[in-house]
Amino acid sequence: MGGSNFYNSQGNMIALADCNNFYASCERVFNPKIKNKPVVVLSNNDGCIIARSNEAKKLGIKMGEPAFKIKNLLEKNNVNVYSTNFALYGDLSKRVMNTIKTEVNQIEVYSIDEAFLDFSDFADEERAFLIKKKVYKWTGIPVSVGIAKTKTLAKVANHIAKKYKKEGVFMFDSEDLIRRALNVFPVEDLWGIGRKISKRLKQFGIYTALQFRETDEKWIKRNFSINGVKIQRELKGEVIYPLETLRPRKKNICTSRSFGKEVKELSKLREVVSSHANSCATKLRDEKSCCLTISVFLSTNPFNSKVKQYYPCRLFNLDVPTNDSIEIVSYALKALERIYRSDCTYKKAGVIVGRIIPESHTQLSLFDNLDRDKRREINSIVDTINRKMGKDKVKLAVQGKTRDWKLRQERLSPCYTTRFADMLQVRV
Partner DNA sequence: TCTGGGGTCCTAGGACCC
Count residues near DNA (CB under 7 A).
45
Q: Give the integer Cα–Cα distance in Å for 348 and 407.
A: 11
Q: How far is the CB of 156 from DNA (least distance, A)?
A: 11
Q: What is the chain's length?
A: 428
Q: Provide CB contacts within 8 A for 231, sequence distance 6+.
A: 152, 190, 191, 192, 193, 212
Q: Contact with DNA (CB under 7 A): which of 27, 55, 114, 271?
A: 114
Pick out residues in 145-174 that bind DNA (CB under 7 A).
155
Site string (68-97) toward DNA, x via CB under 7 A: x-----------------------------
Rank residues 195 and 401 by Cβ distance to DNA and give the closer one: 195
| Contact status: 29 vs DNA (CB under 7 A) | no
Q: Contact with DNA (CB under 7 A): which of 3, 90, 194, 242?
A: 194
Q: What is the dihedral of CA 357, 363, 367, 369, to 10 degrees?
A: 80
Rank residues 13 and 193 by Cβ distance to DNA and give the closer one: 193
Q: How far is the CB of 129 from DNA (least distance, A)?
A: 22
| Contact status: 55 vs DNA (CB under 7 A) | no
Q: How far is the CB of 5 from DNA (least distance, A)?
A: 30
| Contact status: 142 vs DNA (CB under 7 A) | no
| Contact status: 109 vs DNA (CB under 7 A) | no
Q: How far is the CB of 366 from DNA (least distance, A)?
A: 21
Q: How far is the CB of 289 from DNA (least distance, A)?
A: 11
Q: Which amino acid, residue 37?
A: K
| Contact status: 195 vs DNA (CB under 7 A) | yes
* Region binding DNA by CB under 7 A among candidate stretches 123-131, 208-216, 247-255, 364-372: 247-255
What is 20-44 written as a DSSP string?
TTHHHHHHHHT-GGGTTS-EEEE-G
Residue 129, H or E segment: helix 125-139
* Region binding DNA by CB under 7 A among candidate stretches 5-13, 61-69, 139-147, 359-367: 61-69
Pick out residues in 217-246 that bind DNA (CB under 7 A).
225-227
* Region binding DNA by CB under 7 A among candidate stretches 32-40, 250-258, 334-342, 380-388: 250-258
Q: Provide CB contacts within 8 A for 293, sequence distance 6+.
A: 315, 316, 317, 318, 352, 353, 354, 355
Nearest to 114 by CA among 96, 101, 102, 129: 96
Cα-based distances in Å from 425 to 80, 87, 349, 428? 22, 19, 39, 10
Biggest CA–CA distance in the chain, Å, is 69
Rank residues 210 and 291 by Cβ distance to DNA and give the closer one: 291
What is the distance between the terminal CA atoms of the chain, rounded to a whole angstrom?
45
Strand spans (E) along 130-179: 143-148, 169-171
Within its chain, how far is the Cα of 68 from the centroid? 24
Q: How far is the CB of 313 from DNA (least distance, A)?
A: 7
Q: Give the integer Cα–Cα distance in Å for 382 and 388.
A: 10
Q: How far is the CB of 350 from DNA (least distance, A)?
A: 6
Rank residues 99 and 198 by Cβ distance to DNA and give the closer one: 198
Rank residues 68 and 122 by Cβ distance to DNA and give the closer one: 68
Rank residues 303 and 420 by Cβ distance to DNA and give the closer one: 303
User: Quick one: 1 exposed, middle or buried, by C-beta within 10 A (0-12, 13-18, 19+)?
Assistant: exposed
Rank residues 113 and 124 by Cβ distance to DNA and give the closer one: 113
Pick out residues in 329-368 that bind DNA (CB under 7 A).
348, 350
| Contact status: 64 vs DNA (CB under 7 A) | yes
Alpha helices for 236-340 (secondary structure H): 266-286, 325-339
Q: Which amino acid, residue 387?
A: R
Q: Contact with DNA (CB under 7 A): which of 29, 31, 47, 239?
A: 47
| Contact status: 50 vs DNA (CB under 7 A) | yes
Q: How far is the CB of 221 from DNA (least distance, A)?
A: 8
In this structure, are residues 290 and 337 in contact, taking their beta carbons and an 8 Å threshold? no
Alpha helices for 194-321 (secondary structure H): 195-203, 209-214, 217-235, 266-286
| Contact status: 198 vs DNA (CB under 7 A) | yes
Residue 269 CB neighbours (<10 A): 22
Q: How far is the CB of 308 from DNA (least distance, A)?
A: 16
**Residues at the interface with DNA (CB under 7 A):** 43-45, 47-48, 50, 64, 66, 68, 110-114, 155, 190-198, 225-227, 248, 250-258, 283, 301, 303-304, 315, 317, 348, 350
